[in-house]
Amino acid sequence: MIRVAVMGAVGRMGKALIQAIDEDPATELGAGILEPSSSLIGADLGEIAGVGKRQIAAVGDVESVLDDFDVLIDFTQPQVTLANAALCASAGKQLVVGTTGLNDEQKAQLQEAAKKTSIVFAPNMSVGVNLCFKLLEMAAAALGDDYDVEIVEAHHRHKVDAPSGTALGMGEAVARSLGRDLKEVAVYGREGHTGARDSKTIGFATMRVGDVVGDHTVVFGTEGERVEITHKASSRMTFAKGAVRACKWLQDKPASLYSMQDVLDLH
Q: Rounded CA gap, 111 and 259, in Å?
A: 12
Q: Rounded CA gap, 127 and 7, in Å?
A: 21
Beta strands 214-222; 225-233: pairing state: antiparallel
- Active site members: 155, 159
Collect all residues with Cβ–Cβ distance below 8 Å to 61 and sequence separation of at least 6: 33, 36
What are the distances in angstroms from CA 178 to CA 38, 136, 266? 47, 11, 19
Long-range pairs of 229-232 with CB within 8 A, sequence gap ≥ 24: 229/132, 229/135, 229/136, 229/139, 231/126, 231/128, 231/129, 231/132
